[in-house]
Amino acid sequence: MPAETRAVLTGVFFGTAFATILTPGPNMMYVGTTGAQRGPAMGALAACAVVLGGMCYTVATAIGISAAMAAHPAVFTVIRVAGIGYLIWLGFKLLIRARDTTPLPPVPHASGRAFRGGLLISLTNPQLATFMLAFLPQFVVADRGPVWLQLLTLGVTFNGCALLVMLGVGTLTGTAGRAQLGGVRFRQVMRAVAGAAFLVLAVRSASALLG
C-alpha cells in the first residue's frame, strides 16, 4: 500500500474514532456522573472500567465472538435487554436523588462499586460489539499480516483513544464537582441530566429492539 494511502487511512481511522468516542453515550454519562459525585479519582477509575469493557469487545471481535453473536440474535437480544434494564435502574436512581443536598457519605468499597458499575455499563452496551464488528474490519489491509492481529491492534488503538477522552471527562467533572460549592449543586444537575439521559437511551434502545 502506498504511503499516501496509508496516511489517509490512518487519518480516517483516528478522525472517526474520536468522533465516535466524543459522542455522548452511556459510558461517557456514567464516567461524568461518577466523577461529579465522587471526585476525579473515582471518575478516572470509572473511565478505566468502561474502557476495559471496550477491550473485551475488541478481543471478542478479533477472535470472532462478535460475529457469532450477530449470527445468533437470541444472545444479542439478551444482552440488549440486560443493558436496557440497567440503564432504567440507573436513570431512576439518579433522578430520585437529584434533589438531595446532603453531603455524600463514605461508601464502603466505593472504588469497587464504581469500577463494577462502569464495566457493567460497557459490557451491556451491545452497540460496542456492533460498532467494533462494523468499524475495525474497514481498516484491515490484506498484505499487512494476520487479520486477527490487525483487528486487535486497531481495537487497542481505539480503546487507547477512548481512555484518554474518558479520563479527561472523569477528571474534569470530578474537579468541577468539588469546585462548585462543595459539589452540591453540580451533583444535583449531573444526577438530573444523567438520569434523564439514561432513561432516554433506554427508551431509544427498547424502541429499536421492538422495531
pLDDT at 181: 45
Percent of the chain scoring above 90 in pLDDT: 13
Average pLDDT over residues 121-148: 76
The pLDDT tens digits of the residues spanning 91-118 come to 788 788 777 666 554 444 568 888 988 8
Instruction: Cell numbers for 93, please give them.
Output: 436512581
Closest CA to 198 of 38, 53, 91: 91
Rounded mean pLDDT, 198-204: 76
Of 9-13, 41-45, 59-63, 120-124, the range with the lowest mean pLDDT is 9-13
Average pLDDT over residues 10-28: 80
Q: What is the pTM of this model?
A: 0.71
> Per-residue pLDDT for 149 more than 90?
no
CA distance 206 to 211: 8
Cβ–Cβ under 8 Å, residues 150 and 140: yes
